[in-house]
Amino acid sequence: MLSKKSQYAFKALTYLAERFNQGPVLISEIAKQKKIPLKFLENILLELKKADILESKKGKGGGYFLKKDPAKVKMATIVRLINGPIAMLPCVSLYFYERCKNCDEKQCGLHDIMIEVRDATLEILENRTLKDLLV
């Protein structure tokens, strides 16, 4: 399940995608319109900025805005950043891999099924972008 934080992130990103290339948008505006706790949203946007997805401008007339075209920002990137692993097990995760304890990957049926699930999920999340969130 996506965390609430992830859902907030997607709402904010959608809001910004709708206003792409229209100058900075206030955190407070996003928070109000999308009903996201202000300080919580601050953290999320900062994280997205550090990941090079958003840009910001300080001072009067400042705010946040998308750094790249919405069509260039993959869903998978955002999910990994804000929500964590996409795979259902650490031992089949590409970006958050961890070895299984008490289980040999070579002969673990669960492992194989979870790889299938991972790949099916990635096929979608790697090929959908913020643009697809817009109506």
- DSSP character string of 39-90: HHHHHHHHHHHHTTSEEEE-STT-EEEESS-GGGSBHHHHIIIII---SSSG
- Told to check if 124 binds DNA by CB under 7 A, we report no
Near a copy of itself by CB under 8 A, which window of 20-28, 45-53, 56-64, 81-89? 81-89
Q: What residue 64 binds from DNA, a copy of itself, none (CB within 5 to 8 A, per partner kind)?
A: DNA
Binding test (CB under 7 A) with DNA, winner from 23, 32, 33, 39: 39
- Told to check if 124 binds a copy of itself by CB under 8 A, we report yes
Q: How far is the CB of 3 from DNA (least distance, A)?
A: 3
| Distances from the Cα of 88 to the Cα of 75, 97, 106, 117, 127, angstroms | 17, 11, 18, 8, 19
Q: How far is the CB of 11 from DNA (least distance, A)?
A: 11
Tokens of 124: 């979608």
- Told to check if 69 binds a copy of itself by CB under 8 A, we report no
* CB environment 53-86: b (16+ within 10 A), e (fewer): bbebeeeeeebbbbbeebeebbbbbbbbbbbebb
- Told to check if 70 binds DNA by CB under 7 A, we report no
What residues make contact with a copy of itself under the rule CB under 8 A? 1-2, 7, 10-11, 14, 34-35, 75, 84-85, 87-90, 102-103, 107, 109-110, 112-114, 116-117, 120-121, 123-125, 128, 132-135
